A and B are shown apart, each in its own frame.
Chain A
């Protein structure tokens, strides 16, 4: 158990819909990262938040957005869903600082029908 929690574990929805994925980092970790893993793309970095502020952006679509709240949990919002958004979404957290190890949550499996 990494100490990072993600809800829900599974999500099934229809095209055009909007969903919210939630992540709670390990106690004391200020940084949260979101990654997407689809069958053909492997693990791809989406976005990072540190202490409530966006810190780095990867290949995140404009239809996707995220935020980190004062209690440090984070939410990833996916809207206007398409079939190709079906994937595993992982959250990771780390303390801030040089060479901090990222610890990953169990993931949310999203299926868009």
Chain B
């Protein structure tokens, strides 16, 4: 699986947009970008995924660069409840097995 690189931690003011970057420069054409988050010791929560087009759902937006070597998860109006570890994961299109979690980005939302 392609390796991902994320900053270990980030701060964001409550009410502002939180932009979490992820580098996946070795991504191949059949690999999706997934984002999960884990709020303190809870089960990882699926946020969003995409292949090459930008995606939006009720939780977040995912912006993937045209060359697909990096992406940004956007939480449009961060709240204190968004404080969590955010994992960027790259998974092949034709596999349904394990998720390989890295260290993620610890996002602190500041009041």
| A interface residue numbers (CB < 8 A to B) | 2, 4, 31, 33, 35, 42-45, 48, 55-56, 58, 88, 90, 92, 94, 96-107, 109
Neighbouring B residues of A96 by C-beta, 8 Å: 96
Interface residues of A, dominant DSSP: strand
- Determine if B96 and A43 form an interchain contact, defined as CB atoms under 8 angstroms apart: no
Distance in Å from the Cβ of B73 to the closest Cβ of chain A? 15
Q: B residues engaging A (CB < 8 A)?
A: 32, 34, 38, 41-46, 49, 91, 93-94, 96-103
Please give the distance in Å from A86's CB to the nearest CB on chain B. 13
C-alpha gap A109/B45 in the complex (Å): 17
Contact partners of B41 in chain A: CB under 8 A: 88, 107, 109
- Are the C-beta atoms of A45 and B100 separated by less than 8 Å? yes
B72–chain A nearest beta-carbon distance, Å: 20
Interface of B is mostly: loop
B43 nearest in chain A by CB position = A104
- A22–B6 alpha-carbon span in the complex (Å): 33
Contact among A2, A4, A33, A103 with B98 in the assembled complex (CB-CB below 8 Å): A33
The answer, among B43, B91, B98, B103, for a CB contact under 8 Å with A99, is: B91
Is the beta-carbon distance between B101 and A58 smaller than 8 angstroms? no
Tell me the nearest residue of chain A to B97, going by C-beta.
A56
Query: In the bound complex, what is the Cα–Cα distance between A4 and B101 (angstroms)?
Result: 19
A to B CB contacts below 8 Å, 19 in the list: A2-B43, A2-B45, A4-B43, A33-B98, A33-B99, A42-B102, A43-B44, A45-B99, A48-B97, A56-B97, A92-B43, A92-B44, A94-B96, A98-B96, A99-B49, A100-B96, A101-B34, A101-B46, A107-B41
For the complex of A and B, list the 5 residue pairs with the smallest distance between their C-beta atoms, beginning with the closest. Answer: A104-B43, A45-B98, A43-B101, A56-B97, A104-B44
Contacts of A43 in B (CB 8 A): 38, 44, 99, 101
CB distance from A40 to the nearest CB of B (A): 12
In the bound complex, do residue A42 and residue B45 qualify as a contact, i.e. CB atoms below 8 Å apart? no
Inter-chain contacts of A101 with B (CB < 8 A): 34, 46, 49
